[in-house]
């Protein structure tokens, strides 16, 4: 698929078919992702790929933890957000809600429990970073995530980044045997989109370029 088409058509998918994704497919995708740039070519990313029954077990445990702890998806800001950011966040709810109503789903429950369940995807990738690195290296993990969602789309697979799992980091590390010196940065669901699900008709909008750029020339 043409790169421009991949960039234009990729979107976060929030309903997956249970059809499995093979280890070979994931190896091919991650094998391309590791070509991403990184500071001083440190290649600091580490991936834990969870599939099959282990992925179901992880999802069940995370959904249970969500129900106990009620830690929800949030932007995680440390100061009040400027109006344009709050507006975009609120719009996500307003624009997604009609599709969820068609499914008889309530937004918060769908997004929080859905995220903990990786939206039913057959595989989850957990992006980790050695805690010897400074926070600056989170940029490198973000670049890897960006490559991951695009490469997956190129191969006909869909993804959804799952930041919420960060709130359950200690439990995830215990479940997946991730050493103490590794931080869980973000997860991603990967699998085949369920074309029957109304939520997959949703595509998030973007503001126009002038909102983001200040030219100095």
Ligand X SMILES: Cc1cc2nc3c(=O)[nH]c(=O)nc-3n(C[C@H](O)[C@H](O)[C@H](O)COP(=O)(O)O)c2cc1C
| Binding positions for ligand X, rule: CB under 6 A | 11-12, 14, 73, 92, 111, 115, 160-164, 186, 204
Query: Which residue number, 56 or 92, has a Cβ lying nearer to ligand X?
Result: 92
Minimum CB–partner distance for residue 143 and ligand X (Å) = 12
Query: Which residue number, 23 or 90, has a Cβ lying nearer to ligand X?
Result: 90
Distance (Å) of CA 80 to CA 73, 83, 88:
16, 9, 14
Residue by residue, DSSP assigns 109-148 as: HHHHHHHHTGGG-SEEEEEEEETTS-GGGHHHHHHHHHHH
Identify the CA nearest to 183 among candidates 143, 133, 144.
Answer: 133
Query: Which residue number, 27 or 207, has a Cβ lying nearer to ligand X?
Result: 207
The residue at minimum Cβ distance from ligand X is 163
Please check whether residue 25 is in contact with residue 159, taking contact to mean a CB–CB distance below 8 angstroms: no
Distance (Å) of CA 177 to CA 9, 66, 183, 193:
36, 20, 12, 29
Minimum CB–partner distance for residue 70 and ligand X (Å) = 15
Query: How many C-beta atoms surround the C-beta of residue 2 within 10 A?
Result: 9
Minimum CB–partner distance for residue 216 and ligand X (Å) = 28
Query: Which residue number, 157 or 164, has a Cβ lying nearer to ligand X?
Result: 164
Query: Which residue number, 49 or 110, has a Cβ lying nearer to ligand X?
Result: 110
Query: Which residue number, 20 or 163, has a Cβ lying nearer to ligand X?
Result: 163
Please check whether residue 86 is in contact with residue 92, taking contact to mean a CB–CB distance below 8 angstroms: no
Minimum CB–partner distance for residue 6 and ligand X (Å) = 12
Minimum CB–partner distance for residue 181 and ligand X (Å) = 22
- E strands along the chain, which residues? 45-51, 123-130, 158-162, 182-191
Distance CA 110, CA 99 (A): 11
Minimum CB–partner distance for residue 24 and ligand X (Å) = 26
């Amino acid at each position: 698929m043409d790169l421009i088409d991949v960039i234009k058509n990729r979107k976060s998918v929030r309903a997956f078919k249970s059809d499995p994704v093979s280890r070979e497919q994931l190896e091919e995708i991650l094998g391309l992702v590791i070509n991403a740039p990184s500071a001083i070519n440190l290649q600091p990313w580490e991936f834990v790929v969870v599939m099959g029954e282990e992925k179901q077990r992880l999802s069940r445990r995370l959904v249970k933890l969500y129900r106990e702890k009620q830690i929800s998806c949030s932007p995680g800001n440390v100061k009040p957000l400027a109006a344009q950011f709050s507006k975009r966040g609120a719009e996500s709810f307003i624009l997604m809600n009609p599709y969820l109503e068609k499914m008889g789903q309530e937004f918060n429950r769908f997004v929080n429990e859905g995220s903990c369940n990786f939206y039913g995807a057959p595989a989850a990738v957990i992006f980790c970073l050695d805690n010897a690195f400074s926070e600056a290296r989170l940029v490198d993990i973000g670049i890897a995530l960006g490559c991951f969602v695009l490469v997956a789309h190129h191969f006909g697979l869909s993804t959804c980044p799952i930041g919420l799992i960060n709130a359950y980091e200690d439990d995830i590390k215990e479940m997946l045997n991730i050493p103490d010196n590794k931080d869980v940065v973000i997860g991603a669901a990967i699998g085949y989109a369920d074309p029957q699900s109304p939520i997959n008709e949703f595509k998030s909008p973007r503001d126009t370029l002038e909102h983001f750029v200040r030219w100095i020339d």
